[in-house]
A and B are shown apart, each in its own frame.
Chain A
């Protein structure tokens, strides 16, 4: 079978790219190894409950009618009306460090006033940083790379405030330890602080259903349980893929959302480049509570916390670093109705290699892997109690996923949620006809991932000619 384009992976970027291509009558297939779509952002049922994976919140929130923002760009490119997304904004969230807490919401003024209150000497610098972020064009794919911390330090001289600004931005998108690329910092600062959080009533499955429906209606083909074993090349040009089943599909263009090192491996590249391997993976605990979190006195939608004065965003030496993390109360979005389950989710940075080495026996709660999960679940819950009231007596049911789970369901090496520290902004791999989309192209978050698929599909397939003059 020959296609105009083959897309590897039915996550946000793959589906969005697929919609664009199908909409313009390209013959396109999206190949997904698993029996469910969504990639990093998916969903599952567990003991009769519906859980989301990945998505705490959609970042980049913009109300209907807001101009020139990533969300409105996405809606137009996929021909989706704002109300179809069913977005409900957060109440407020917080960054919580020892002895200091900064609230923020989808109204940027709240964060600014919190900085002025807690760090009065820093507020002019914070304003200047905000201006620098607003003025930077993160869509310029050819801008020179620079580190974010030196730039931020020009404006912010208090290291605690610096870490408090970095903490949410790193947790929600950084594939690098300790620092971020400046352009990624800008993307995340805008998407989290200047735009904000929202969520559909039904969570990520609602967004995925919209994308799948749109894709199928446009005539796109989706194949589940169709893992790609190899990318086929001919004279330095990608010409198709071989599936796990041995079946061969050919195409003019291959768009891969598998990740950078993963795509290299599919090409059979000899060189395993350790520097490109992402080191940041996570555990997430999901606790089902017997009443809404706000009835336990938890007001925030999301809390980014550190129990240490200086926040360390790095692969921990032990299984999990429970001294920092993200606490999400999905029921504290301003939803029209309380979700059926009252969830509290805690995300912590974790060490893939240590989890991968644990002996695991299916359905055996005494195996090393299951015991470690139990132990770290308890530690993770205990270490958030400096930030929220003790919710533990109200927990009815628990699930937890680990870096190993992430590796299994996303195919990302080392369970690296945000992929490789190296991003290919233009998508070009050095192999003609093969382009990277999604996380490792470098647009972040759900909206970012979808825009990545869109812009790469436009640039490398649809856009045969340059942009119209402004």
Chain B
């Protein structure tokens, strides 16, 4: 999966979790929590959706790697390699 596809995968998950949020203008360098109405329950859902859709396991010690879109991409690049984007 390319970096752009990983970004799309994350945005796709967030759009499903928070259908009322505008995910079109997320600044990839800024914490997701500061831009969107996401709390710890929602981050748990992002992790569970990554497992459900892509079989990617994110141990709880790594949750802080999901803080921004950029950090998500860096963290998931190896884990998502070779996987196809689920729409």
- A residues lining the B interface (CB < 8 Å): 24-25, 64-65, 67-68, 72-73, 75-77, 79-82, 454-455, 458, 462-463, 465-470
Contact = CB atoms under 8 A, between A and B. Distances in A.
Contacts of B59: 465
Q: Decide if the interface of chain A is mainly helix, strand, loop or mixed.
A: loop
Contact of A24 (B42, B48, B63, B64): B48
A25 B52 CA distance: 9
Interface in B43-74: 43-45, 47-48, 52, 59-60, 63-64, 66
Given A24-B48, A462-B48, A468 B43 contact: yes
B40 A77 contact: no
In order of increasing CB-CB distance, the 4 nearest A-B pairs are A468-B63, A465-B60, A467-B40, A67-B37
B41 interface: yes
Contacts of A82: 20
Contacts of B16: 79
A76 B40 contact: no
Contacts of B17: 76, 79
B52 A65 contact: no
Contacts of A25: 52
Contact of B60 (A65, A72, A458, A466): A466
A64 B39 contact: no
A427 to B, nearest CB: 15
B81 interface: no
Contact of B64 (A67, A462, A468): A468
A390 B39 CA distance: 49
Given A24-B52, A25-B52, A468 B40 contact: yes
Given A465-B60, A468-B44, 11 more contacts: A25-B52, A76-B41, A76-B42, A79-B19, A458-B41, A458-B44, A466-B60, A467-B40, A467-B63, A468-B43, A470-B40
B85 interface: no
Given A68-B37, A458-B41, A467-B40, A76 B18 contact: yes
Contacts of B52: 24-25
A334 B37 CA distance: 27
Contacts, number: 57
A64 B18 CA distance: 12
Contacts of B47: 468
Interface size class of B (residues with CB under 8 A): 20 to 34
Q: A65, A75, A462, A470: which has the most chain B beta carbons within 10 Å?
A: A470
A67 B36 CA distance: 9
A79 B66 CA distance: 21
B66 to A, nearest CB: 7
Contacts of A72: 20, 37
Q: B18, B33, B42, B45: which has the most chain A beta carbons within 10 Å?
A: B45
Contacts of B45: 76-77
Contact of A467 (B18, B33, B44): B44
Nearest to A75: B20
A65 B19 CA distance: 10
A17 to B, nearest CB: 14
Nearest to A470: B40
Contacts of A64: 20
20 contacts: A25-B52, A64-B20, A67-B37, A68-B39, A75-B20, A76-B18, A76-B37, A76-B45, A77-B41, A81-B19, A454-B41, A458-B44, A465-B60, A467-B40, A467-B60, A467-B63, A468-B40, A468-B63, A468-B64, A469-B64
A463 B44 contact: yes
Contact of A73 (B33, B41, B64, B66): B41
A314 B20 CA distance: 42
B25 to A, nearest CB: 15
